[in-house]
Amino acid sequence: MQQIIYTNNVQDALERLLASMRPASVHIVTDANVATVTRHLLPDIPRIIIPSGDTSKTLATAADVWQALVDSGATRRSLVINIGGGVVTDLGAFCAATFKRGIPFINVPTTLLGAVDAAVGGKAGVNFHSLKNEIGVFRQAEAVVISTCFFSTLPDRELLSGYAEMIKHGLLDSPQLFADTLAIHPSGLSDLLPLLRRSIEVKQAIVQTDPTEQGIRRALNLGHTAGHAFETHAMLAGRPVPHGYAVAWGLVVSLVLSRMLLGLGSDTLQLLSHRVRDLYGAPSISCDDYPGLLSLMSHDKKNDTPSHINFTLLESLGHPVTGHIVDHDSLCAALDIFRDLMGV
Ligand SMILES: NC(=O)c1ccc[n+]([C@@H]2O[C@H](COP(=O)([O-])OP(=O)(O)OC[C@H]3O[C@@H](n4cnc5c(N)ncnc54)[C@H](O)[C@@H]3O)[C@@H](O)[C@H]2O)c1
Ligand SMILES: [Zn+2]
């Protein structure tokens, strides 16, 4: 099982890992923003700094990182430490997993989304042309160091974006974790580490039973079929929204469908939709946008054939059903209810 260390003393955790792993050399991959706020961490180890943002998650940037590793004499016994958000951990892990057929790496996520999702679970990769995460590998980090100490410099939008994935984990796990997750505000950081741990353990348990996404790992797509469609739709309209905002709306759509098709309790749907509306507002969509949204959902890469839209739904809290095929009429009806609940 992947080693995950929960700590508020990251320096100490990394020093202990280095002492036990004894790598031939250590190379930190980070981005320009994170390099500024994490200068104090392992200050003697040189940084390979990539530009910030998802547009850096490319083969060209990977080539720069590989070159920097070559230039600094990295060997098969070297270690890469990725310190940053999901862009850095995805790209840095991909570079390490492919350099000399794979050298060990440690992930230190500095965003909430990174901690609760991207840095854990062994998916590493880059975008290719306009395709998200098209080139990549499954490869587990030697260790992931989780701390809330990084989050004080994160904008609220970034915290909210990660919090949506925590809500998803609560829905997938149990009534208790769902309630406990909804009870906090993501800016209440001092209380977050224990809850963050429970949330990450949900993903870790699912990934452990299905590391390469042949079955139950698809449960982690809850909210993402509609969520990706909202995300792309907003981007095409020139009003991009953070991934987590789109996922939060997608979770509400999934629960509407779960209520319609699987008899999920209305209290769960009401609780979620109120919370999502309060924290994330609503997407600006009308019924004129349905054909575009449906077309985006049909082309979601999780579908085997475009005429079938594949959803992860919930029978009840903690009981996901993967691969549920939803027809277009049901989806339009669900979007009507969703707009009602969101007040649009
Ligand atoms: N591998 C997976 O399983 C998986 C899962 C979910 C998302 N992802 C990927 O993760 C990426 C998104 O991750 P993200 O939201 O962390 O984005 P990100 O890495 O771009 O970070 C968001 C922004 O915050 C900045 N930042 C990071 N940490 C900071 C800190 N502590 N203080 C101030 N600023 C900080 C970054 O420089 C960046 O500008 C996407 O590329 C997505 O595909 C991967
Ligand atoms: Zn997501």
| Span 245-259, pLDDT tens digits | 999 999 999 999 999
Q: At what angle do helices 243-262 and 156-173 cross, to 10 degrees?
A: 30
| H helix or E strand, kind and range, residue 14 | helix 10-21
Give the per-residue pLDDT at 109: 98
Q: Whose CA is nearest to atom 2 of ligand 1?
A: 118
Average of per-residue pLDDT values in the chain: 95
Give the Cα separation of 292 and 297 in Å (integer): 9
**Predicted pLDDT of residue 189:** 75
Indicate the pTM of the whole model.
0.95
Q: Is 207 in the pocket of ligand 1 (CB under 6 A)?
A: no
Tens digit of each residue's pLDDT (9 = 90 or more) over 62-112: 999 999 999 999 999 999 999 999 999 999 999 999 999 999 999 999 999
Q: Name the percent of the chain lying above pLDDT 70.
A: 97
Main-chain dihedrals φ then ψ at residue 137, nearest 5 degrees: -140, 160
Examine the pLDDT at 200 and tell me if it is beyond 60: yes
Q: What gap in Å lies between CA 222 and CA 218, rounded to an integer?
A: 8
In the sheet where 79-84 sits, what is the strand order?
3-6, 143-146, 105-109, 79-84, 26-31, 47-50
pLDDT value of position 165: 98
pLDDT tens for each residue of 129-163: 988 899 999 999 999 999 999 999 999 999 999 99
Q: Which ligand is nearest to the CA of 111?
A: 1
Residues lining ligand 2 (ion), CB within 5 A?
Answer: 247
306 and 299 Cβ atoms separated by less than 8 Å: yes
Report which ligand 1 atom has the smallest distance to the Cα of 53. 20
**Mean pLDDT, residues 47-59:** 97
**pLDDT(333) > 80:** yes
| pLDDT for 305 | 59
Q: Check residue 25 and give its pLDDT.
A: 98
- Give the separation between CA 251 and CA 235, rounded to whole angstroms: 19
Ligand 1 atom nearest residue 151's Cα: 31
114 lines ligand 1 (CB under 6 A): yes
For 322-331, the pLDDT digits (tens) are 999 999 999 9
Give 27's strand partners: 80
Ligand 1 atom nearest 120 alpha carbon = 3
Top mutation candidate among 49, 87, 112, 206 for ligand 1, by most atoms within 8 Å of CB: 87
Which residues pair with residue 123 across a beta bridge?
138
- pLDDT > 90? residue 30: yes
Structural domains for the chain: 3-153 (3.40.50.1970), 156-342 (1.20.1090.10)
pLDDT for res 299: 78
The type of residue at 160 is: L
Q: How large is the angle between the packed helices 266-280 and 156-173, nearest 10 degrees?
A: 170
The predicted-structure confidence for 280-304, as pLDDT tens digits, reads as follows 999 999 999 999 999 999 977 565 5
For range 227-234, the mean pLDDT: 95
The predicted pLDDT at position 302 comes to 61
Ligand 2 center–CA 43 separation, angstroms: 32
- Residue 76 token pair: 């098969």
